[in-house]
Amino acid sequence: MADNNPRQSSSLQRKTFRVREMDCADCAIGLEHAMRRVPGVREARAVFHTGTLQVWTLPEVDESVLHEAARQAGYRLLPHQAHSRAEGRQLRTGKVVLASLLGIVAFILQNQQVSAWMFVPLYLTAIALAGVPTFIAAWRAVRQRMLDTNVLMSIAVLGAIGLQEWAEATTVVCLFAIGNLLEHLTTERTRRAIRQLMDSAPETATVVTPEGTHTVPADLVQQDERIRVRAGERFPLDGEIVEGYSDVDQSMITGESRPVPKSPGDTVFAGTLNQTGMVDVRVTRTYENTTLARLIHLVEEAQEHKAPLHHLVDRFARVYTPVVIALAVLLSTIPPLVWGDFDRWFFRSLSLLLVACPCALVISTPVALVAALGTASRLGVLIKGGIFVEAMAQVRAMVYDKTGTLTTGKMRVREVQCLDNAPPEQILAIAAAVESASTHPLAEAVREEASRRGLSLPPVRDSRVVPGKGVQGVIDGKLCRVGNAEFACTHLVQDMPLLPGAEEEEATQVWVQIDGKTAGRILFEDTRRTEAAEVVRELRRMGIGYHVMLSGDKAPIARRIARDLGLDEVRAPLLPEEKVQAVHELRKRFGAVAMIGDGINDAPALKVATVGIAMGAAGSDAAMEAADIALMNDDLRLLPYLIQLSRATVSIIRQNIAFAIGTKLLLLFIAAPGYLPLWLAVMGDTGVSLLVTLNALRLAKHRQENTQ
């Protein structure tokens, strides 16, 4: 029996391929069955929408064995990096159009009462042109001991030919071919999007060395090497700008519509477009580990995680198809023995087979999930599978990390307090001048506040950083110190204009000393995300009524931010394992809980939440791997959108399932007495499949309406 969690075994190897000739969802199931029968294969997962196959094998399994097993099943495996080209699309479309025209001509001739030899060859040619892919897929399924939609359709067509119902057989095969072609074209769009992602990263990089520059394959560039990217070129690797300034279009990674200014110290991503200036970049991730590579990998694996509704439909279809074939056999054999007229009852059994094809039911769930995953990804929201779309629709409580999630993690000056009626600007200017020697985040915040106020900084000499304490320097012959109380205060000043006690505990602070005398202090706060309070209010309006902050920061600081944002509960300070315990408790209280965070310390809690959401493409690798959803552009306003999209998707899936089953029951009721011709049975099946697909495409309209 196949291992349901093959990746849990460290002895297994995972091999990923692209697949040729995998033209339908049933084909993917057949390929999985073929691969699982190979000795040493523990699991196989084929994804029709992306044209990929993943196989988990024992180390001794040679890749050539997998290629041979796929070939015998009727498929061809290609390297994962190879493109699943669509050169056969125009030929396939032409065959379907030609077959339909031949069928129409043959039907006109037949109704002109001409000899059969004039129209029967046209019917047979049309059946061959349009039906060969279906017949081949049916033969593959039979060889794999499977009964799928292609088998049902082939039996019905061959039965109609046996009864010399030429028009019926041709109409059936042409309508089915048209339906498959539409599904193929829709799927090709998904595959094309992935190919565009793969093509976006250059295959070569310009490496800068002391001897000059030279071009090498991007996959040979090592971490910390320096590369040069000119205006108009794409970045081949993730890195940090070390020289130069530019505007970068990174919409494919983060969903941001405008170019982002980049300067030394800023992060850039592989595949993004350098628009305006030449920059030198220090490589931070090798070719196979770039954000783009991880994004492609996660997109391709998204279908691996099926939603519960999807599993339910799959299980139903596996039982449903054999039962329908058994009923058709009984209908074609028992009634003729009682009432005679074998042809009439056999024709009814063919109608039953066609009506009972579970196409619309089988695609009702995946087509909606693929639409949801695609529309979300275009906004910079990466959802790792359909199961998480459905889970988001059930969320009743939200859990937030503080630093980097509700706040930016960047400190800013909150207040400047002075003694002896000294102007705050004077104290701030002195502090900023002394802090010019420091790279500490608080020093940066002081300098930014001084710049924002337009202050002129006095000249400073003999600047020196005292690790763990502060910075000192000489201004106008006076020794000035900026740092903690122990460093900058000879004694605690009693007449400092203090804040109320509770708020003083909340504030991060540095003290300023001038010539041995305490002159004042500067209070800091973590910069809140401007959209955070609005997002919490919007989620409450949507029915998510409980919001909790879990933070490793000091309790007073966390409580202040939680109070400002309108959260219901705050727990701080917490270690990573304590965050996990808190999420477990909240799941017991509320059922479905979503947690959003960005750091390594958030990863364990993200994993145990019903849905884990990671902030940003530049977030920690651990958080990205542990999370089920990633907000690639750090925009919390996408949380309400996620809830809306998930609820709309689940609603559409339920509509599709109800519509597919209801229509089938109605058509079966009409087909049983013999009132439904074969062509109308196929039209009903194909029409329902098309309506189900169009209903799912409403999710794209949902995106546009909610992001304008």
Catalytic site positions: 401
Instruction: Cite the DSSP H helix spans in 402-469.
Output: 424-434, 441-452
Q: Is 58 helix (H, G, I), strand (E, B) or coil?
A: coil
Angle CA 450–453–458, to nearest 5 = 45
Taken in order 666, 669, 673, 674, is the CA torsion positive or negative? positive
Q: Is 173 helix (H, G, I), strand (E, B) or coil?
A: helix
DSSP per residue over 336-379, as a string? HHHH--HHHHHHHHHHHHHHH--HHHHHHTHHHHHHHHHHHHTT
Contacts 24+ apart (CB under 8 A), 147-150: 147/321, 147/322, 147/325, 148/26, 148/29, 148/30, 148/321, 149/24, 149/26, 149/321, 149/357, 149/358, 149/359, 149/362, 150/24, 150/26
Q: Is 246 helix (H, G, I), strand (E, B) or coil?
A: strand
Closest listed residue to residue 406, CA positions, set 301, 504, 544, 551? 551
Are 500 and 556 contacting, i.e. CB atoms less than 8 angstroms apart?
A: no
CA distances from 224 to 119, 155, 205, 300 (A): 72, 62, 14, 29
Task: Output the CA torsion 439→441→447→452 (10° steps).
Answer: 150
Task: Output the CA torsion 660→662→666→669 (10° steps).
Answer: 100
Q: Phi first, then psi: what are they for 22, rounded to 5°? A: -95, 95
Closest listed residue to residue 385, CA positions, set 28, 11, 45? 45
Closest listed residue to residue 123, CA positions, set 163, 178, 154, 161? 161
Are 438 and 488 contacting, i.e. CB atoms less than 8 angstroms apart?
A: no
Q: Phi first, then psi: what are they for 403, rounded to 5°? A: -70, 125
